Structure 1
Amino acid sequence: MAEAKTCIRILVVDDDVRIQRMLAQYFSEEGYEVVCASSGAEMRAAMAVRAFDVVLLDLVLPGETGGLDLAREIRSTSDVPIMMLTGRDDVVDRVVGLEVGADDYVGKPFHLREVHARLKNILRRRRQPGAAPAKNGGEMVLFEGWRFDLERRQLWNFGGTEVALSTGEFDMLRVFVTHPGRVLTRDMLMDLTRKREREGFDRTIDAQIVRLRRKIEKDPSNPQLIKSVRGVGYIFTARPGTSPRPSDT
């Protein structure tokens, strides 16, 4: 018997009707709500009227807007998890997909159970703060004018504006603020962000760090918070502190 799922809504963006039907049937039987779109226009229309918990996005779409452009578009306004579906076996395409905001990818042809496992992993990581959380879930982590709420998965800059983080960016920043001043190798970062089970090459770590630097560094080309340690890995140079999180009342 399938596990019961509640209120988990998937948007499938793929121009192949066979893939749409296959994914829709499988995930509907697993208890998810599934909406399908064949183009960027249909995707935008669907996202304008409802919220989604995850987007399964084909890398290659017909027309003027491809999957990478749509991923950038989604990420510019939302932190909804994105899983890229790709028929290309090219590391560059995968890295670029992660750089523009995708949380995971799966190659075509794929096994539905693998897609499901990866999707559940994304949702699990979204729900759970993960390893080495703050000592008190009611506290915020403060660093260099930034406020980072591990429990609510929110980040605010020094001006009080919230900065949206993808699942991968949140996991990476969480690792850094909970391991300040410590050189972390790419292997360690893969383990701590749980990427080893999904990706087997170091460039995915570098891609996530490039994207995170763009959001938290004053000058991403000359990073001061997340510094590279040549031939080893990365180090988070800030000294995080904590403060009570404001109450909701």
Structure 2
Amino acid sequence: MKQLFKNTLFVPTILLTQLFSYSYAAEDVHWGYTGKSGPANWGDLADQYAMCKKGKNQSPIDIKASLDTDLTPIKFNYIKQASTIKNNGHTVQVDYPAGNSISLNGTQYELKQFHFHSPSENTIDGQHYPLEAHFVHADDKGNLAVVGVMFKDGEDNKKIAELWQNMPKQANTQQNLANPFSAIDLLPKSHDYYRFNGSLTTPPCSEGVLWLVLKQPITISIDQAKQLVETLNHPNNRPVQPLNARTVLK
């Protein structure tokens, strides 16, 4: 079964600029999460967003039927710290300098940024979580790998509190973090994961993205999750998409 994911599909490098500014999208056509510009209509907003409508390997998905296999462990090499946090109107995002990466099956993917969705975009056995973080990486050929981390209802998360303390309230603004932030602090102890091929979860919904969703959630309070929604003025999750012929490995 390893051959199913020996190579991820190539994503043109031109998409990387769109991706790392978040919101995974060309900004010349307005899109959002509500009304006529919401997820149900993304594929009709512009020709470059057509994959949102016609794609067969779209993300997010509901992870329920998965195949047991011998997945290679993800090696996290998060060393450099971030110093700023931005609100781009679609999410809250923390960008990273060169020097952080994951290694998987002999390929190194550099961490570019992480951002948040509330409620979670991917679901597990039909369950949404209050928050999901996406750690976005790219290899030297432009192939993308996204690590998903779920946050379950529980006690306040001290590291999220650090970020939210400096979260910009206005769209298209950026703030300095009070203290440098290490991405490793938002990972659970266990790095066991689900693996599947998918897409960007916002326009242009390009496919060929390697998804690695960690099984173990970490805690966040409901009030902390609400702070993100209140800051953005709306939830920012795309509904789950059909699995079609894909297989989820675990």
Q: TM-score, normalised by structure 1?
A: 0.26
Question: When you count strand as a share of all residues, which structure comes out higher?
Answer: 2
| Larger RCO: 1 or 2 (CA < 8 Å, sep 6+) | 2
Decide which structure has greater helix share.
1
